[in-house]
């Protein structure tokens, strides 16, 4: 069993094939943490792992006992105000004004499988024996409240999922002012904190910083997980690299405001916690009500950052993403946005679609501008009916015409937003997130619909479902281009206003759930001004996301490399766009643009009518290559090799390898050419050392051990290395 309980010592031992996680019930019946790391053999007692030192200058739990202090004990889900002076995992404000609680162990159960989390995305199982769950009940007798701590062990996948649920069994109302999903106290502070930070058009760059005494954190208060910070944090040892060393990863399955922080105390214990951001958060729990915190997925690896990432990749690709499109090969698409922006009609769209089909494209996506009177970004959001000026025969006829060309048809929506210049806003000005008697600030000339209100979600569902029922639509791009400001709901009472941001996200999830359930054949792609809500929560509903609005090949090296720290490449929308690039103005070769985009959900964002015949032939070859290797790219093991965040960032390389190690695709990228650079040798990862491989374009054959340990000298194939700025090479390897 992957979850064992030592009754005499009251210890829980959770273990996967490679990892152990051990905690116990303390003498005061709270939970203490003992160990998290490389797998240990099970023992009848782990008491030797428990340590408490006497301190002359702290508070102790029991009068007369000068030793037992929570200030000195590593804990599992720490409380506020009872001798622990570090930040707690939760806080409960009671009607008396007290914030002091005493949640103690009541009982536990261990069962095969995993329950769904109410209203929230989470990992899941398809067979009960895939995972085992521990459910612990903690009770505070004074308030009548209960906390259920859930731990699910994916034994073969080497991951542990955690969450917490608060239930008010008492007669009085309480307020949750803090309800984080997980906390863990790790011995020592010799760690570097790894985070994914950035902004619009440069999302999820890898940042490292050494832990110091005090609190270091990342967070979002923007109403989304955000482009600025991703809901992920890792702690790695200073010598940990991509393929060796210890690292602990924590990924929050949530799309709203979050906090991930590490507090290093006066004894160098590192307390990591993650969950909904307590800033501007409160949740009123009436008698009989409950609150479910989002799930956290924890991954420990002693095989470096890449070892951690591969656990996340496999788990998230197969047991977080869902539905028909989880395992099915995704179509090669083309999006009309950069070709036309708002300026199009049905004839122009059909011409683009026909030209795209001739190149091998499988899906044509009509982006913004098809609805209302949408000639620019100042109008019509919320009016999801076709603009007959541009498309006189409607969406249904256009979709059927594109289907007749042999292409699938996709459509863009931004369902969470409204323009003031819209029929929706005229009818329901109270349906936006706002505060009475305060100015409403705008973003991109638009406002956020109040998805904390059920009637708003229902209204948008009715509009979208009508379009999806009437037309043969196989793909939806779901955009979201606006952070929240002046957060408030005109419907909720005053004592629930700090619930709006979370209720909004629950509304988004409920709309996704209804639409994906009713239209299971539709491929949904999440987008938020590019990558402003690229997170595990939305991956549960949309198996791929628009990674970034920045489609420049050079910038995408960092964006896709950083994203792969947690997210499988099958989830990353990666397209070839026009040059000069519309975000940075850079001119890169068509070859390099494709060589980067291959490692994702592949597509195009350009005007094929403007391409030369030579370029069209090159695109045909690119699409043929991607289709031939689609399954390998989507389902293979991804290895990062050379990082664009290391040194001067001039070189990036990575490889995707089939599970049976018989095939691989290797990508190598150079930003700037160097004069007289010498001899470049590249090293591969993930191959079978005993297999002999042929490499397309190279006459010799190589054993896996040679390619991984001795490497391949690039000048053996000089004609493919292009000694120039923004150059790249992709090699296909196949076992002989």
Domain end among 290, 319, 348? 319
Q: Is residue 432 part of a domain?
A: no
Q: Are strands 270-276 and 258-264 parallel, antiparallel or unpaired?
A: antiparallel
pLDDT score at 718 = 47
pLDDT score at 716 = 52
Catalytic, out of 346, 549, 550, 552: 549
| CATH number assigned to the domain comprising residue 714 | 2.60.40.1180
Q: Is residue 724 part of a domain?
A: yes
How many residues are given for the chain? 736
Catalytic, out of 346, 387, 479, 550: 479
Cβ contact 425:450 at 8 Å: no
Q: Are strands 295-301 and 159-168 parallel, antiparallel or unpaired?
A: antiparallel
Contacts of 196 (CB under 8 A, 6+ apart): 203, 204, 205, 206, 207, 229, 230, 232, 562, 563, 565, 566
Domain end among 585, 612, 631? 631
Co-location of 273 and 361 in the same domain: no
DSSP string, 93-150: EETTS------EEEEEEEEES-PPPTTS-----SSGGG-EEEEEEEEETTTTEEEEEE
Contacts of 145 (CB under 8 A, 6+ apart): 92, 101, 103, 139, 166, 167, 168, 169, 170, 174, 285
Co-location of 619 and 643 in the same domain: no
Does pTM surpass 0.95?
yes
Give me the number of domains the chain comprises. Answer: 3
Helix (H) or strand (E) holding 259: strand 258-264
Co-location of 291 and 385 in the same domain: no
Alpha carbon distance 329, 346 (integer Å)? 29
Co-location of 627 and 644 in the same domain: no
pLDDT score at 677 = 82
Q: Is residue 285 part of a domain?
A: yes
336: Cα separation from own chain's centroid: 26
Cβ contact 605:577 at 8 Å: yes
Q: Which of 341, 359, 340 is nearest to 615 (CA)?
A: 359
Cβ contact 182:249 at 8 Å: no
Co-location of 98 and 26 in the same domain: yes
Co-location of 91 and 136 in the same domain: yes
pLDDT score at 714 = 83
Co-location of 96 and 29 in the same domain: yes
Alpha carbon distance 645, 668 (integer Å)? 15
Domain end among 568, 598, 631? 631
Low-confidence spans in the chain with pLDDT less than 50: 717-721
Co-location of 345 and 362 in the same domain: yes
Co-location of 684 and 593 in the same domain: no
Alpha carbon distance 594, 77 (integer Å)? 47
Contacts of 616 (CB under 8 A, 6+ apart): 358, 359, 608
Residue 648 lies in domain: 639-735
Known catalytic membership, residue 660: no
Co-location of 564 and 601 in the same domain: yes
pLDDT score at 722 = 52
Q: Is residue 439 part of a domain?
A: no
- Judged on CB neighbours under 10 Å (0-12, 13-18, 19+), 481 is buried
Co-location of 152 and 106 in the same domain: yes
Q: Is residue 325 part of a domain?
A: no
pLDDT score at 719 = 46
Co-location of 602 and 724 in the same domain: no
DSSP string, 178-224: EEEEEEEEES----EEEEEEEETTEEEEEEEEE--SEEEEEE--SSS
DSSP string, 47-80: GGG------TTS--SSTT-SS--GGGS-BSS--S
Known catalytic membership, residue 376: no
Q: Which of 198, 141, 192 is nearest to 170 (CA)?
A: 141
| CATH number assigned to the domain comprising residue 234 | 2.70.98.60
pLDDT score at 723 = 67
- Judged on CB neighbours under 10 Å (0-12, 13-18, 19+), 35 is middle
Q: Is residue 237 part of a domain?
A: yes
| CATH number assigned to the domain comprising residue 413 | 3.20.20.70
Q: Is residue 57 part of a domain?
A: yes
598: Cα separation from own chain's centroid: 20
Q: Is residue 403 part of a domain?
A: yes
């Amino acid at each position: 069993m992957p979850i064992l309980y030592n009754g005499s010592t009251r210890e829980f031992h959770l273990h996967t094939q490679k990892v152990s996680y051990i905690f116990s019930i303390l003498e005061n019946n709270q939970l203490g943490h003992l160990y998290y790391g490389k797998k240990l053999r099970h023992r009848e007692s782990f008491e030797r792992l428990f340590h408490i030192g006497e301190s002359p200058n702290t508070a102790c739990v029991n009068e007369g006992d000068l030793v037992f202090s929570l200030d000195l004990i590593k804990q599992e889900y720490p409380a506020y105000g009872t001798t622990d002076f570090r930040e707690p995992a939760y806080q409960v404000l009671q009607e008396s004004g007290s914030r002091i609680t005493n949640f103690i162990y009541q009982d536990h159960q261990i069962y095969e499988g995993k329950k769904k989390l109410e209203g929230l995305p989470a990992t899941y199982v398809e067979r009960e024996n895939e995972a085992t769950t521990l459910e612990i009940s903690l009770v505070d007798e004074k308030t009548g409240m209960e906390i259920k701590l859930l731990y699910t062990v994916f034994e073969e996948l080497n991951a542990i999922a955690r969450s917490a649920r608060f239930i008010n069994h008492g007669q009085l109302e309480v307020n949750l002012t803090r309800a984080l999903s997980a906390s863990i106290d790790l011995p020592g502070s010799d760690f570097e904190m790894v985070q994914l930070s950035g902004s619009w058009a440069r999302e999820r760059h890898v940042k490292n910083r050494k832990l110091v005494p005090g609190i270091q954190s990342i967070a979002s208060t923007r109403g989304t997980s955000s482009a600025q910070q991703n809901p992920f944090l890792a702690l790695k040892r200073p010598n940990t690299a991509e393929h060796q060393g210890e690292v602990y990863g924590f990924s929050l399955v949530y799309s709203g405001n979050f906090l991930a922080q590490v507090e290093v105390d006066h004894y160098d214990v590192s307390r990591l916690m993650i969950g909904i951001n307590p800033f501007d958060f409160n949740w009123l729990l009436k008698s009989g009500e409950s609150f479910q915190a989002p799930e956290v997925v924890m991954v420990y690896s002693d095989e470096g950052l890449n070892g951690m990432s591969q656990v996340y990749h496999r788990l998230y690709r197969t047991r977080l993403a869902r539905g028909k499109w989880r395992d099915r090969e995704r179509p090669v698409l083309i999006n009309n946005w950069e070709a036309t922006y708002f300026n199009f009609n049905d004839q122009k769209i059909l011409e683009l679609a026909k030209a795209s089909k001739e190149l091998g494209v499988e899906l044509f996506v009509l982006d913004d501008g098809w609805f209302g009177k949408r000639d620019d970004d100042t109008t019509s959001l919320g009016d999801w009916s076709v603009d007959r000026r541009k498309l006189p025969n409607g969406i249904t006829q256009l979709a059927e015409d594109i289907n007749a060309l042999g292409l699938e048809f996709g459509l863009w929506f931004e369902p969470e937003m409204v323009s003031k210049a819209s029929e929706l806003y005229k009818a329901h000005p109270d349906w936006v997130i706002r505060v009475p008697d305060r100015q409403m600030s705008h973003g991109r000339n638009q406002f956020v619909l109040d998805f904390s209100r059920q009637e708003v979600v229902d209204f948008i569902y009715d509009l979208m479902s009508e379009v999806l029922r009437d037309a043969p639509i196989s793909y939806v791009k779901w955009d979201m281009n606006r952070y929240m400001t002046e957060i408030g709901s005109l419907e909720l009472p005053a004592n629930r206003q700090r619930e709006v941001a979370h209720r909004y996200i629950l509304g988004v999830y409920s709309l996704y759930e209804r639409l994906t359930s009713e239209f299971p054949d539709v491929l949904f792609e999440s987008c938020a001004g590019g990558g402003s809500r690229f997170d595990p929560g939305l991956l549960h509903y949309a198996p791929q996301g628009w990674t970034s609005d920045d489609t420049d090949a050079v910038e995408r090296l960092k964006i896709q490399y950083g994203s792969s720290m947690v997210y499988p490449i099958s989830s990353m929308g990666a397209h070839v766009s026009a040059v000069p690039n519309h975000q940075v103005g850079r001119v890169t070769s068509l070859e390099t643009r494709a060589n980067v985009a291959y490692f994702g959900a592949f597509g195009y964002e350009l005007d094929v009518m403007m391409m030369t015949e030579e370029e069209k032939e090159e695109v045909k070859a690119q699409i043929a290559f991607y289709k031939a290797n689609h399954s390998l790219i989507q389902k293979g093991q991804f290895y990062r090799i050379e990082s664009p965040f290391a040194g001067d960032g001039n070189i990036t390389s990575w490889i995707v390898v089939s599970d049976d190690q018989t095939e691989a695709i290797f990508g190598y990228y150079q930003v700037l050419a160097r004069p007289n650079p010498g001899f470049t040798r590249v090293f591969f990862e993930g191959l079978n050392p005993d297999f002999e491989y042929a490499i397309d374009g190279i006459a010799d054959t190589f054993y896996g051990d040679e390619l991984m340990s001795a490497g391949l000298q690039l000048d053996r194939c000089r004609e493919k290395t292009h000694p120039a700025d923004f150059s790249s090479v992709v090699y296909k390897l196949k076992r002989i």
